[in-house]
Structure 1
Amino acid sequence: MKPTTEADLADMIAGADGPLCVRGGGTRGVRLDGEVLETGGLSGITLYEPGSLTLVAQAGTPLAEIEAALDAEGQRLAFEPMDHRGLLGTSGTPTIGGVVAGNVSGPRRVSVGACRDFMLGVRFVDGMGTVIKNGGRVMKNVTGYDLVKLMSGAWGTLGVLSEVSLKVLPRPEAAACVMIDGLSDADAVSAMAKALRSPFEVSGAAHLPDGAHGASVTMLRVEGFAGSVSYRADRISALYPDQPVRVERAPEVVAEQWVSVRDVAPFHDHGGDVWRVSCTPSKAAELGAMMQADALLYDWGGGLIWVRVPAGVDLRARLGAFDGHATLVRGSGHAKFQPEPDDIAALSKGLRERFDPKGILNTGLMG
């Protein structure tokens, strides 16, 4: 099924008598029982006001189309959504609805927030075929229940997005990347914490234990006006007087470096399962050692760890109880999402029963 209007979408969901597998651009590799419901027919930017930093688009709009429109006006999606295709070996076209449904957020989340923090409003169809609108085109219009944030990261289990409204931001004039070579994971986490605590507005903090030349590299990004970027990069470098520090200032190189981090490029073309672990940054190195991984990539100053392990490894069993959660991004044999504590699971179940009483939307994906 591929509706081309919101009314078609509502009719299809209202008339469904079995499970529906909700799919955007098909880039996430999610396979569920049920008839496929594609949102790609709901496409197009319906409102873009650069002066008010606001964009409204139908859920099936290709992400590339939105980024091109923003780029033409010197603007961007500041939360830096990841492209999963290289990591998952999928094709298709990333859509803005898929980004919102998965709350997909890249390295800049450490400084500006996640996708859900840029959401102004949503329109969606619940499991009974009812069209629901929440939020507005500017922040002050968000009233009542905050379904805007609830739908961001719900993975289509509470409703199928038909339209989203987002806040966008200007594209910075310049960027630089401060790099420290050869740090251990523990020292890298400490170095990233020092930079993030500084007043120099770091917009990305990542650590690759196996860098391009086999040695580790810790990366700290700064963005903004050219003069400010140059000054802040130098001041950040001075925070590490006893370390081998270098600074990359070429904008195209810096952009390529952070797209590589964003899309977890070091894991591309390598077999095995891939997990995504959210944790307390100060515990990141300790958890990384416990994983016995084939490869690691630390992002968000250590708050996010990308992990590659042999196929079938139960990473959650290796880690045991910890303050965070592990999501299976690529692989099979284990639940995709970390099992929820009983009280949270009961709340989630109640929400699904409220918004999808027939139990037909992406059944079984999130418990």
Structure 2
Amino acid sequence: MIDLSPMTDEEAAAIVRSHAREGKPLAVCGGNTRSGFGNAIAAENRLRSSNLSGITAYNPGEMVLTARSGTPLAEIEAALAENGQMMAFEPMDHRPIMGTSGEPTIGGVFAANVSGPRRFVAGAARDSLLGVSFINGKGEVIKAGGRVMKNVTGLDLVKLMAGSHGTLGFLTEVTFRVPPRPRTEATIVISGLNDAEAANAMAAAMALPAEVSGAAHLPMTVAWKFLDSTLSEGEGTCLRIEGLPGSVDARATKLAAAMGAFGSVTRLEQEESVRLWRDIRDVAPYADRTPRPVWRVSVAPGTGHQLVAALRLEAGVDAFYDWQGGLIWMRMEADADADLLRRFIKAVGGGHATLIRASEQMRAMTAAFQPQQEAVALLSQRLKLKFDPAGIFNPGKMAGA
């Protein structure tokens, strides 16, 4: 595959126009750290954003940052850290679980709507996105949105681009909100709970005025892999508190007292808490350099443990929970079992399953994204036709949730 790395929007637009005229497929990517995700793409050329790099506007007082899409995520995070700010949606690093290299880019984060443990209280990546510039399938430069929330021009177009996985256009610039970074954090860990008990404990914690910003349950099968924390001793239900030191201490103390009704409670301070949630974010238990299928499953928080229990009996799966149980990271031991998984998801009330990792052969046979309902599928087809009439962008992929 030949990499095409334009230096300007105009160069990118010219590349797209030439491919559209000839009807030639064009793979779209940033740092290529999610290589192997989704279904196979039959394209000779790959349009990369690596040369579209740099922070173009950033006034910390406005809490808004604009950057070219190929800007390395590490560069963004360094600039934010220097000014006590962050990306609230806490994007994961896919390299460990995908076994890839390269540098994650800010455009790739928004194109895939990458969101981590704080997502269930702070929103997804798309909820922080204010404006975009991109090249559509006709080779036109499109700008939508703005630098402040009051400017809602093109806001729907902005949201459409987030999570489209390069199927609607090639992102060249993004503008997004960057709120203050919490001064410190602590994590309350409840030991010895099974999955159902953990779901009840997390629901109870969310009902308290503790402002929990992370809620995950790590069963015994994965907890032992967190060897530098108390979780090495057994399953743990983890609840994160963030903010000013005095507030964190007071809220964590009250939360620990309330959670004592569910089981034995320990407390992780900032350094250990940061490591724990980074590993949860990056799905560290399944970063095993194997092609064993890994699914990202989204269901109602109260039903996740029911889904996993049923699948353990039928298919022999391993799993752990984030987002108060609403996000399940699930590894299959052999086949992807897409039909079985999606049938069981429907049985517990519905949800979404996305195949994140699998062998090349298995990906060729398995729909990576949740099949859309007929009305939604029709709308998606119309959007694709409008944005990319020649159908050249990322053939074989569908926009994900």
TM-score, length-normalised on structure 1?
Answer: 0.97
SS of the equivalent of 1:146 reads helix
Distance 1:214 1:102 in 2: 35
Equivalent positions of 1:161-176 (< 5 A) are 161-176=171-186
Change (3 A) 1:144 1:55: closer
- Partner Cα separation in structure 1 for residue 158 and residue 181 of structure 2: 25
Runs of 4+ in structure 1 displaced over 4 angstroms? none
Residue 153 of structure 1 corresponds to which residue in structure 2? 163
Aligned partner of 1:275 among 295, 298, 313: 295
Q: d(CA) in 2 for partners of 1:223 and 1:98?
A: 27
In the other structure, the counterpart of 2:276 is: 257
Matches within 5 A, 1:89-104: 89-104=99-114
Would you say 1:365 and 2:374 are equivalent positions?
A: no
Tell me what 2:372 maps to.
Answer: 340
Correspondence for 1:311 among 327, 334, 356: 334
CA distance in 1, matches of 2:217, 2:236: 6
Whether 1:286 aligns to 2:292 is no
Residue equivalent to 2:47: 37
C-alpha contact 1:47 1:57 (8 A) present in aligned 2: yes
**Contact conserved, 2:130 with 2:155, CA < 8 A, in 1?**
no
Q: 1:283 to 1:6 in 2, by over 3 A?
A: same
Deviations 1:62-104 (A, max 9, x none): 0000000111111111110000000010001100000000000
For structure 2, the residue ranges without an aligned partner over 5 or more in a row are: 225-231
Gaps of 5+ in 1: none
Alpha-carbon deviation of 1:111? 1.2
Cα deviation for residue 240 of structure 1 reads 2.2
- Of 29, 32, 42, the match for 1:26: 32
Structure 1 residue aligned with 2:69: 59
Check 1:354–1:319 CA distance in 2 against 1; reply closer, same or farther (3 A cut): closer
**Structure 2 equivalent of residue 4 of structure 1:** 7
1: CA distance between counterparts of 2:128 and 2:154? 18
Distance in 2, Cα, partners of 1:318 & 1:46: 44
| Matched ranges for 1:132-151 at <5 A | 132-144=142-154, 146-151=156-161
- Change in 2 beyond 3 A, CA 1:19/1:312: same
**Counterpart Cα distance in 2 of 1:38 and 1:240:** 48
**Mapped contact 1:121–1:142 kept (Cα < 8 A):** no
d(CA) in 1 for partners of 2:311, 2:147:
44
1:326 equivalent in alignment to 2:353: yes
CA-to-aligned-CA distance 1:27-71 (integer Å, 9 cap, x gap):
001451112111111111001110000100000000000000111
1:66 alignment partner, SS class: helix
**Distance in 1 of aligned mates of 2:341 and 2:71:** 40
- Give the count of matched residue pairs: 366
1:270 Cα shift?
A: 5.9
Which residue matches 2:266?
A: 246
- The residue number in structure 2 matching 1:208 is 218
Deviations 1:153-187 (A, max 9, x none): 00111111000001001111110000001100011
Aligned with 1:143: secondary structure?
Answer: coil
| Matched residue type, 1:348 | S
Name the residue aligned to 1:47. Answer: 57
1:218 aligns with 2:237: yes
Q: 2-side partners of 1:310 and 1:20: how far apart? A: 34
1:188 aligns with 2:190: no
Contact kept, 8 Å, 2:215 with 2:238, in 1: the verdict is yes
Q: Once the 2 structures are TM-superposed, how far is the Cα of residue 319 of structure 1 from its aligned partner?
A: 4.3
Greater relative contact order (CA < 8 Å, ≥ 6 in sequence):
2
- 350, 355, 361: which is aligned to 2:382? 350
Amino acid at match of 1:277: V
Structure 2-normalised TM-score? Answer: 0.89
Letter in 2 for 1:32: I
User: Contact 1:79–1:113 at 8 Å: present in 2 too?
Assistant: yes
Whether 1:120 aligns to 2:130 is yes
The answer to whether the 8 Å contact 1:79/1:105 transfers is yes
Counterpart residue identity of residue 266, structure 2? R
In structure 2, the CA distance between the partners of 1:103 and 1:232, relative to structure 1 (3 Å rule), is same
**Is the Cα contact below 8 Å between 1:290 and 1:318 reproduced in 2?**
no
Name the counterpart of 1:110: 120
Distance in 2 between residues matched to 1:270 and 1:89, nearest whole Å: 6
SS of residue in 1 equivalent to 2:189 = strand
Determine the C-alpha separation between the residues in 1 that align with 2:185 and 2:330.
Answer: 28
Offset, 1:214: 5.9
Equivalent residue, structure 1, for 2:229: none
Please, what is the CA RMSD of the aligned residues? 1.3
Name the SS of the counterpart of 2:259 in structure 1. Answer: coil
Partner secondary structure for residue 69 of structure 1? helix
CA distance in 2: counterparts of 1:68 and 1:280, whole angstroms: 35
Match of 2:86 in 1: 76
Report if aligned partners of 1:182, 1:216 keep a CA contact under 8 Å in 2.
yes
- SS of the aligned residue for 1:4 comes to coil
